[in-house]
């Protein structure tokens, strides 16, 4: 446990910067922040999750800008995901304190691990990417709602759930990551609003999380657009498998 507040905030900022790079490259990585703050820093998880969502709300601005300026966000698809994610995120935030997250996190872990294995075993050239045009808007609204709710309850942010879901729907990896950035627009602010109204947010902790992730995701997005699709897919796969493993460990401890 960190004894100095300054040391805690500084270490959190640096760690979140590194995590932000991962998020910028493959959309996934936010799950790493929770075990760091809970098991290393010794902060209660019900304090960590609202702070993470508030920090992600700030970082989302930079994440969306970094991908939008490269034309890597399909807004015609993002609008449906956003429409579903907003109410899902708000509902998740107000049920967080009364809901046991064990079953939800078990489902999340299974989804993430299965998607990671699939991405690792499938060559980018064999993925047609046809799902991005073949998936209807109504399906994306439902996906957005479930991702928004699950992200808000677990404090993982939208990408951890959305990226593997879209990969399973046969979306191109870069498009999946780009859409995962866009879905943070409603999830983090609406989840934070719910925490403010029905609970509390540790803003002192949220600030280094937001700044660190924002700086890291900006750098990560640059890297993502300079590597090959196969390298990006492999990175996504490895991070998904690590993230899924961390969730399982968290459930078992």
pLDDT tens-digit profile of 142-185? 999 999 888 777 666 678 788 888 988 888 888 999 999 998 88
Q: How many CB atoms lie within 10 A of CB 203?
A: 13
pLDDT of residue 229: 76
Residue 2 has pLDDT above 70, yes or no: no
pLDDT of residue 128: 55
Q: What percent of the chain clears pLDDT 90, i.e. is strictly above it?
A: 30
Higher pLDDT, 16 or 49: 16
pLDDT of residue 98: 65
Higher pLDDT, 204 or 192: 204
Q: How many CB atoms lie within 10 A of CB 12?
A: 26
Residue 206 has pLDDT above 90, yes or no: yes
Banded pLDDT at 140 (limits 50, 70, 90): very high
Mean pLDDT over 223-241 rounds to 84
- Residues 13-41: tens digit of each pLDDT: 999 999 999 889 888 777 788 878 887 88
Mean pLDDT over 129-145 rounds to 90
- What CA–CA distance (Å, rounded) separates 27 from 108? 16
Higher pLDDT, 98 or 239: 239
pLDDT of residue 228: 83
pLDDT of residue 125: 45
Higher pLDDT, 196 or 120: 196
Higher pLDDT, 103 or 113: 113
User: Poorest-confidence range of 40-44, 84-88, 115-119?
Assistant: 115-119
């Amino acid at each position: 446990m960190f004894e100095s507040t300054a040391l805690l905030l500084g270490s959190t900022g640096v760690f979140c910067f590194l995590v932000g790079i991962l998020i910028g490259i493959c959309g996934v990585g936010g799950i790493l922040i929770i075990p760091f703050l809970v098991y290393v820093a010794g902060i209660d998880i019900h304090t960590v999750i609202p702070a993470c969502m508030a920090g992600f709300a700030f970082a989302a601005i930079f994440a969306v800008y970094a991908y939008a300026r490269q034309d890597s966000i399909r807004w015609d698809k993002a609008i449906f995901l956003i429409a579903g994610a907003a109410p899902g995120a708000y509902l998740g935030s107000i049920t967080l304190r009364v809901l046991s997250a064990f079953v939800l996190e078990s489902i999340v872990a299974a989804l993430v691990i299965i998607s990671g294995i699939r991405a690792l075993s499938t060559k980018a050239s064999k993925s047609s990417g046809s799902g991005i045009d073949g998936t209807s808007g109504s399906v994306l609204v439902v996906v957005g709602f479930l991702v928004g709710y699950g992200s808000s309850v677990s404090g993982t942010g939208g990408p951890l759930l959305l990226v593997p879901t879209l990969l399973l729907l046969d979306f191109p990896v870069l498009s999946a990551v780009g859409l995962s950035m866009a879905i943070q627009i409603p999830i983090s602010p609406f989840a934070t609003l719910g925490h403010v109204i029905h609970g509390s947010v540790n803003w002192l902790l949220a600030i280094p999380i937001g700044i660190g992730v924002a700086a890291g995701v900006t750098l990560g997005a640059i890297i993502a657009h300079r590597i090959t699709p196969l390298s990006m897919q492999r990175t996504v796969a490895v991070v998904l498998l690590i993230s899924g493993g961390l969730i399982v460990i968290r459930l078992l401890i």
